[in-house]
C-alpha cells in the first residue's frame, strides 16, 4: 500500500482534471430544448416590453382630472365612447368627460392618463342594469391619480438592453423572457456527450441471466443517471471483458464522445490488463486520492483518430466509490463543458447524531440523511453501514458528510459539514 503522503488531495485531483476541460462550442436550438443550458451570447431586446402603455386592470381609461373629488356619495359620471379589448388599438382620443371601457393588457388610448378599475365604478350595477349600460355612461366612485394602473411602455425591458447575458443558465423564467421578445431559437453551449464503459469479467448487463459469481452492472446506470442529471448526454458503451482486445475495442468506440468514463480495474490487485490498456491507448495517470470511498482513480486522455484528445475519467469499481468519485470529479467536468462554474454544491453544517470513525487520514465522505430538527438546526444521521459496495447506503442518503483528513472521528454532537446531494442551490 502506498504511504499516505503519496496520495493526492481531492482538490489537487480536481484541479488536474479540470485543466483538461473547457466550454464546448455553441449550438442553435429551439427555445424549449435549451432549458438548463448556458446562453452562449448576450440576447438584446429588439423592442420595448411592454411595447405600449397598457392597462394592468379591467376598468375604464379616463382623464384623471375628470375624476377629482369622486366618491360613492358623489360619483362622477363619464360618457363611455368605446369598448377596448386586449390586442386592439384605439386611435380616438379620450376627451374631457369621456371614458373607454378597457380590458387588461389593452393599450391605453390617447388622452387617457389613468385606469379606474371596475371595482371603483358602478360597473357591477351596469352589468345587471341594462338601462344603465345602454345609457352609455359609467359612474366613477373614487378619484384616480394620474398613471394609476397603467403599465408603462418599456418598464419591463427597454429596446437595446441586454435581457439575458451570455453565461446565464436558462431556467423556465429565462425561456419565458426569450419568448417574450419573439425568439423561437437560441444559441447555447451544447451538452457534452459522455461515453460510459464498465469493465470486468464479472459484470453482466441487466436483462441477461445472472451466472454464478457474476453481478449486474450498476455503475454504468448510476453514472449515466448522474451524467444526465448534471446536464450531459450519457452513452452507455456496454461492458469490456478484462482482455486487452475487448477493452481496446470498447474504448475506441467511445472516442467520439467529449469524455470517456470507465469504471473498475483501477485498483491495486486488479487485472493489470486494464491499467496496461489505458496506459497504452492514452496518457493515463493512476492516482490514489486521499478520500474514502474512492481512493483509486485514473485520469488522462486518449487520442481519437484525427488527433483530438478525449479526457478519460477512470472511476473505481465499487458502486458507492464510483458515484462519489463522479460527484466530486465528473460533475465539475460536465459543468465546465457546459460553460458553468457553479459546480460546487451547497453545504450545511449539521450536528452529527452518530459516531463517525475516520481512522486512516483520508477525507471521508459519509453517506447521511440531513434533516432539520424542531429547533431549526440541521442534524445528520448516517445511513447505516458505509461499505463502498453498498449502493443502498447511497440511495438512502441525501447528503455526504465530510470528515476531514486530520479528524480521526466525529462524535455525536459534533458539527460536521454536509454536501447536499439533492439541492441545486443553498436554500
Which residues form the interface with Mg ion (CB under 5 A)?
200, 264-265
For 258, left (φ over 0), alpha (ψ -120 to 50), or beta?
A: alpha
Dig out the grid coordinates for 333 from the structure.
467536468
> Residue holding cell 437560441?
186
| CB 385 to ligand AMP: min, Å | 16
Does the protein bind ligand AMP through residue 197 (CB under 6 A)?
no
Residues 57-116 that bind ligand AMP (CB under 6 A): none
The listed partner (Mg ion, ligand AMP, none) that binds 117, CB under 5 to 8 Å by sort, is none
> How far apart are the C-alpha atoms of 308 and 311, rounded to whole Å?
10
| CB 269 to ligand AMP: min, Å | 7
Binding ligand AMP (rule: CB under 6 A), the pick from 54, 67, 198, 336 is 198
Does the protein bind ligand AMP through residue 210 (CB under 6 A)?
no
The listed partner (Mg ion, ligand AMP, none) that binds 318, CB under 5 to 8 Å by sort, is ligand AMP
Q: Is the peptide bond before 414 cis (omega within 30 degrees of 0)?
A: no
> How far apart are the C-alpha atoms of 41 and 70, rounded to whole Å?
53
Q: Which residue is nearest to Mg ion (CB)?
A: 200
Does the protein bind ligand AMP through residue 278 (CB under 6 A)?
no
Does the protein bind ligand AMP through residue 339 (CB under 6 A)?
no
Does the protein bind ligand AMP through residue 169 (CB under 6 A)?
no
The listed partner (Mg ion, ligand AMP, none) that binds 267, CB under 5 to 8 Å by sort, is ligand AMP
Quote the radius of gyration of the chain (alpha carbons, Å): 32
| CB 203 to ligand AMP: min, Å | 5
Residues 132-161 that bind ligand AMP (CB under 6 A): none
Does the protein bind ligand AMP through residue 316 (CB under 6 A)?
yes
Q: Residue 80 in contact with residue 101, Cβ under 8 Å?
A: yes
Q: Residue 217 in contact with residue 205, Cβ under 8 Å?
A: yes
Does the protein bind ligand AMP through residue 300 (CB under 6 A)?
no
> Can you name the residues that pair with 339 across neighbouring β-strands?
none
For ligand AMP, the closer of residues 112 and 220 by Cβ is 220
| CB 342 to Mg ion: min, Å | 35
Does the protein bind ligand AMP through residue 386 (CB under 6 A)?
no
> How far apart are the C-alpha atoms of 118 and 389, rounded to whole Å?
68
For Mg ion, the closer of residues 264 and 334 by Cβ is 264
The listed partner (Mg ion, ligand AMP, none) that binds 234, CB under 5 to 8 Å by sort, is none
Number of residues binding to ligand AMP, judged by CB under 6 A: 20
Dig out the grid coordinates for 3 from the structure.
504511504
For ligand AMP, the closer of residues 118 and 216 by Cβ is 216
Does the protein bind ligand AMP through residue 44 (CB under 6 A)?
no
Q: Residue 12 in contact with residue 288, Cβ under 8 Å?
A: no
Binding ligand AMP (rule: CB under 6 A), the pick from 115, 163, 218, 369 is 218
| CB 361 to ligand AMP: min, Å | 22
| CB 321 to Mg ion: min, Å | 12
Q: Residue 273 in contact with residue 247, Cβ under 8 Å?
A: yes
For ligand AMP, the closer of residues 44 and 215 by Cβ is 215
The listed partner (ligand AMP, Mg ion, none) that binds 59, CB under 5 to 8 Å by sort, is none
Q: Which residues bind ligand AMP (CB under 6 A)?
A: 198, 200, 202-203, 215, 217-220, 263-267, 270, 316-319, 389
Amino acid at each position: 500500500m502506498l504511504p499516505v503522503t503519496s496520495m493526492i488531495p481531492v482538490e489537487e485531483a480536481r484541479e488536474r482534471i479540470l485543466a483538461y476541460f473547457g466550454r464546448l462550442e455553441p449550438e442553435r436550438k429551439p427555445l424549449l430544448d435549451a432549458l438548463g443550458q448556458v446562453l452562449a451570447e448576450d440576447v438584446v431586446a429588439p423592442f420595448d416590453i411592454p411595447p405600449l402603455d397598457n392597462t394592468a386592470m379591467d376598468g375604464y381609461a379616463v382623464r384623471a382630472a375628470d375624476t377629482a373629488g369622486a366618491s360613492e356619495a358623489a360619483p362622477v359620471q363619464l360618457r363611455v365612447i368605446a369598448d377596448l379589448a386586449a390586442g386592439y388599438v384605439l386611435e380616438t382620443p379620450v376627451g374631457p368627460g369621456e371614458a373607454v371601457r378597457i380590458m387588461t393588457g389593452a393599450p391605453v388610448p390617447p388622452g387617457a392618463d389613468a385606469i379606474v378599475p371596475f371595482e371603483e365604478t358602478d360597473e357591477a350595477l351596469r352589468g345587471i342594469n341594462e338601462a344603465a349600460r345602454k345609457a352609455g355612461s359609467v359612474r366613477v366612485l373614487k378619484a384616480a391619480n394620474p398613471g394609476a394602473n397603467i403599465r408603462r411602455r418599456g418598464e419591463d425591458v427597454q429596446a437595446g438592453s441586454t435581457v439575458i447575458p451570455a453565461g446565464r443558465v436558462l431556467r423556465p423564467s429565462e425561456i419565458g423572457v426569450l419568448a417574450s421578445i419573439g425568439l423561437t431559437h437560441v444559441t447555447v453551449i451544447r451538452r457534452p456527450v459522455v461515453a460510459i464503459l464498465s469493465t470486468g469479467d464479472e459484470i453482466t448487463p441487466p436483462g441477461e441471466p445472472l451466472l454464478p459469481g457474476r453481478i449486474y452492472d450498476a455503475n454504468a446506470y448510476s453514472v449515466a443517471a448522474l451524467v444526465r442529471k448534471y446536464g450531459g448526454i450519457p452513452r452507455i458503451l456496454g461492458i469490456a471483458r478484462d482482455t486487452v482486445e475487448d477493452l481496446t475495442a470498447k474504448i475506441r468506440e467511445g472516442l467520439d464522445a467529449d469524455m470517456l468514463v470507465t469504471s473498475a480495474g483501477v485498483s491495486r490487485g486488479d487485472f493489470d490488463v486494464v491499467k496496461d490498456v489505458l496506459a497504452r491507448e492514452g496518457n493515463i495517470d493512476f492516482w490514489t486520492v486521499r478520500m474514502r470511498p474512492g481512493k483509486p482513480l485514473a485520469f488522462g486522455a486518449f487520442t481519437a483518430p484525427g488527433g483530438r484528445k478525449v479526457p478519460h475519467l477512470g472511476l473505481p469499481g465499487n458502486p458507492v466509490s464510483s458515484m462519489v468519485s463522479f460527484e466530486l470529479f465528473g460533475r465539475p467536468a460536465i459543468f465546465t463543458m457546459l460553460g458553468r462554474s457553479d459546480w460546487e454544491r451547497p453545504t450545511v453544517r449539521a450536528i452529527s447524531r452518530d459516531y463517525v470513525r475516520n481512522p486512516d487520514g483520508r477525507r471521508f465522505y459519509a453517506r447521511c440523511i440531513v434533516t432539520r430538527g424542531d429547533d431549526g438546526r440541521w442534524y445528520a444521521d448516517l445511513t447505516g453501514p458505509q461499505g463502498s459496495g453498498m449502493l443502498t447506503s447511497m440511495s438512502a442518503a441525501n447528503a455526504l458528510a465530510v470528515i476531514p483528513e486530520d479528524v480521526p472521528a466525529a462524535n455525536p454532537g459534533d458539527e460536521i459539514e454536509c454536501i447536499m446531494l439533492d439541492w441545486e442551490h443553498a436554500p
